[in-house]
Amino acid sequence: MTFTDPEVGSVGMTEAQARAAGLSVRVGHAQLPESSRGFIHQLGNEGLIKLVADASRGVLVGATAAGPAGGEIPGLLALAVHAEVPVATIRRMHFAYPTFHRAIAVALEELES
DSSP 39-58: HHH-TT---EEEEEEETTTT
Q: What is the mean pLDDT of residues 6-25?
A: 96
35 pLDDT more than 70: no
* Average of per-residue pLDDT across 22-35: 86
Q: Per the CATH hierarchy, to which homologous superfamily does domain 8-111 belong? A: FAD/NAD-linked reductase, C-terminal dimerisation domain (3.30.390.30)
The 8-class DSSP code of residue 60 comes to E
Band of pLDDT at residue 33, cut at 50, 70 and 90 = low
CA distance 27 to 24: 10
Q: Is the pLDDT of residue 79 over 70?
A: yes
Window from 74-78, 80-84, 99-103 with minimum mean pLDDT: 99-103
110: buried, middle or exposed (CB in 10 Å: 19+, 13-18, 0-12)?
middle
